Amino acid sequence: MEEVRVNKQVAKREVPALRRDFFAPMVPFGRWFGMSPFALMREFTDEMDRALQGFGPMIGRGAEVGAWTPAVDIRQCNGDLVITAELPGLKKDEVKVELTDDALVIQGERKREHEEDHEGYHRWERSYGRFYRSIPLPEGAKTDQVKAELQEGVLKVSVPAPQAEKKSREVAIETKATAAAAKT
């Protein structure tokens, strides 16, 4: 049998640089090209949530139904610490505001039931959930002068609190050249 010699040579080919607009016609895959797997999963989850939004409480955004936490804003205004909580549809007896040694606690329970009867279908939605928010109070807050009011689903709590002293100083930014010159 005759001996065959094989020489391996790697042919160098020039690969043209890919342009950004090269993937544009391949929507939706073009924008995902080169993404990390985690960013890709996040994008996929967001797309699924958008696609399924509006199909009821159990699909798309369903986690928000079971675990409801009211939005809370905290700001300093005219010497008071003002806490505003959005509690749509809740009445005064469904919300409890308490003061502990170092925090303001807002808690309550939301119960919603909505029933509709139309030709050919009956729709009944129920949503229940407890919430608990604890907001730390600054040192020196006058807890004996706290005021709370609930109007049109917005709870506003005012706690007289001293202005915190702002201590600041400027820090010099060095470069390698100035640090080396300072050492010599």
- Residue 42 and residue 111 in one domain: no
DSSP character at residue 87: -
Report how many domains make up the chain. 2
Indicate if 40 and 90 belong to the same structural domain.
no
- Binned at pLDDT 50, 70 and 90, residue 124 comes out as confident
pLDDT digits (tens, 9 = 90+) for 50-61: 777 766 554 434
Q: 114 and 100 in contact (C-beta within 8 Å)? A: no
**Residue 161: band (very low, low, confident or very high) from pLDDT cuts 50, 70, 90:** confident
CA distances from 38 to 1, 23, 32, 63 (A): 57, 21, 11, 20
Domain membership of residue 46 as a residue range: 20-54
Residue 115 domain flag: yes
Together in a domain, 78 and 152 = yes
Looking at the whole model, is its pTM more than 0.75? Answer: no
